[in-house]
Chains A and B, each alone.
Chain A
């Protein structure tokens, strides 16, 4: 396919880049790559969430033949190197205390994976349990043990377990409260859940001949990892090479460095390639979503209009900051939802606990707070006897109307009512339902990236093939497929003659991140600009080679028009390059600078908006939920590849069923994860998908990305819980405010509803 034969690649269902490799098993994920002569790493950990380390005896390990070394905090420089993005709080290895279940105490390097494991298990650690804090209440209690040493913190809250707070307010809340007749007040809980990528975690680190370090890690942000490694091991960026094989699922879990600094140190110390492949259980201890408890008070007029909304949201973030403070800040920023509310007050806190450090996870804090806000709208609907769809119609903002007010307003950048109406129509809103069934509808919103930088290089080669260098990690969203589509259309190169290079900081120009559904917009624009740069260069070169005046030439996608007719861009490039051949190199940069004083550091490049409608049947005997219908409608701007849009949308929607219905990380009283592993931690399967599932999108070509697109990868998960919760409440006549909505919780709710009056 090429522009020359008029079939545009953009908007077509182009098959995933790297798809053939993935269906035939030849795609190499980190653990599939052979590293000849690598040494293998295993960790010694403790079966406890919080303990002081009294003594470590590594001799049982180091005396085993084939063990290269066993490294502890004592082998690292003092003070212990610490790293992090916003807070440099994470020690390279446990430093005197274990702060969460699974934190590595000893790293053993050995000649085989078996031996590393056996030796790590043979290390003797003496430890004393400390009064760890494993939930919000104990972390916030007076006299609670501090998860992080106050002496190592510089922030205002250092004598408490609150790491950061965020406050957003507008309007006169007190006055609105005085004038409001109907107020609902409730507490909502959102569970800790784990990413459960089918590819477990892993890192390979190797010393290089020039004294540098090479780290292979399936990360979403290779350049961030490069920066942090350079800092920890004290090398210039040019001597730290990060190679990022395609992640086997990321979902936010593979953004930030965790064991990479330790692995780099091990490689330096042993001067060996060190390979660490984690089990799924260890991966549970590497990443999770922050749990959240929200106290919400919401006022309504008789007609359902919201008058005020007050939220106190506590995010249960874990032992180290990672990006959790940002999750809290950004998630609570849109806490009041896409509504027209005259007075809002949001107070959110990121609370440290002795649990797995939480990080980014699809939705980035928005689903946690959205669960409360959407449920409050439904509570108002029940109280006032107004239909839930009608409630949203009356309160949802129109295009260009502010939903966040105050100094830094945010306005609707899409026609969001269209998504709401489409979802309602597709679920058959208002149609009669049989006994035992219920329906719910909800909307969700998430700010896209608020600043960003993506740089790209594109080379148009003499034979009409092309290579794009774009640092986006291709973790399932199919980024490279889109870059290929852009090149095909803009340069007129056949799809199968395009290669995309990513995942190597030495070869590929800088890209800030692969997250926040921002890559299609940011990197997409950079690739587009690089292609346009090539077109301009072809034009200039053609003019130079033919002596035709530049003014009489015009470059368009895939072609060059000249006074004597139109020729393909490739032909024009060949004429321009002449007998020396060579290539045309284009460069593109997409930069969004932050805004000083903005609570998020800048305005969101776009908003993801989704409307979800769900129909359920609840078994009155057992409380079990059967999803009969699941509709998700995203406001996508433009669908660049319908296959990928529907896959991302359905994927997010089904993932959202996890925290809504079944997933939760459970801890025992010592802070150990009780459901550690796939046997006890359930995620959605083929059988958990709704009997009928419909994914649809609204296209108004109103996004800031190439051809009017917006980011789309998270939307369908933002309000799944709200829609499921409303549907269950509709079916059983009473709401459940604690996720996940397990059969047990629903059954209990039905029992107490039978005994009492229904609540709102």
Chain B
């Protein structure tokens, strides 16, 4: 006969973290194991950032941390002391961005669950590589899974938005 045994975890919210989220200062009281993803969703009710694999593999939870793209499921709240986070909500404060509009125009949005992560990742890509080619877009976005497989549509959306931005500047 066998039994199931699992080591217990401490779930007490005994850590205080001060950080900035979408340009607002926030204070979190969380247990040490609380991920930034769960902190955003459960403590701050910022549910635009999605949770799928919780393993750093799907990209649904992509946010900016001090301007750099991260999978927020792989970051602990306690690691973000003094840092600034931008989520999909922070990218949507003045109506839809050009990228978001192009996602819609290209038919990139099916069920939509992966889309906030895709939009944040695409924004990060265009900020670092405004002239990204289709191949560079695919490489940069390869960590963002879409089971509806709108990949072709997303590449098109990013290309159109990139073209517009280059025209404007």
Chain A interface (Cβ < 8 Å from any Cβ of B): 13, 15-16, 18-29, 31-32, 34, 44, 46-48, 54, 112-115, 118, 121-129, 195-200, 246-251, 279-280, 475-478, 643-644, 646-648, 650-655, 677-679, 683-687, 689, 693
Contact = CB atoms under 8 A, between A and B. Distances in A.
A13 B107 contact: yes
Interface in B36-60: 41-42, 45, 47-55, 57-58, 60
B153 A647 contact: yes
A476 B92 contact: no
A21 B89 CA distance: 11
A686 B147 contact: no
Interface in B49-93: 49-55, 57-58, 60, 87-89, 91-92
B27 to A, nearest CB: 19
A25 B152 contact: no
A650 B149 contact: yes
B26 interface: no
Given A24-B92, A280-B52, A678-B53, A687 B11 contact: no
A724 to B, nearest CB: 15
Contacts of B4: 44, 46-47, 121, 123-125, 127
B104 interface: yes
B169 interface: no
Contact of B113 (A15, A127, A199, A687): A199
Contacts of A648: 110
A280 B55 CA distance: 10
Nearest to A196: B147
Given A23-B115, A199-B52, A651-B149, A678 B31 contact: no
A511 B84 CA distance: 47
Given A196-B147, A198-B146, A647-B153, A678 B111 contact: no
A269 B101 CA distance: 47
Contact of B145 (A29, A124, A685): A685
B112 A18 contact: yes
A129 B1 CA distance: 8
B53 A280 contact: yes
Closest 4 CB pairs of A and B: A25-B48, A22-B112, A248-B113, A476-B111
A25 B142 contact: no
A475 B111 contact: yes
Contact of B3 (A23, A125, A247): A125
Contacts of B50: 29, 198-199, 248
Interface in B2-32: 2-6, 8-9, 11, 31
Nearest to A120: B6
Contacts of A196: 147
A19 B148 CA distance: 15
Nearest to B155: A686
A650 B41 CA distance: 32
A28 B144 CA distance: 20
Contact of B57 (A199, A654, A679): A679
Given A26-B48, A127-B4, A650-B150, 20 more contacts: A16-B107, A16-B109, A23-B115, A24-B88, A32-B41, A121-B4, A124-B4, A127-B1, A129-B2, A200-B52, A246-B111, A246-B112, A647-B148, A647-B153, A651-B149, A655-B147, A679-B57, A683-B145, A686-B139, A693-B152
Contacts of B148: 249, 476, 647, 651
A137 to B, nearest CB: 26
A678 B149 contact: no
Contacts of B106: 643
Contact of B111 (A123, A199, A644): A199
A248 B100 contact: no
A477 B110 contact: yes
A121 B152 contact: no
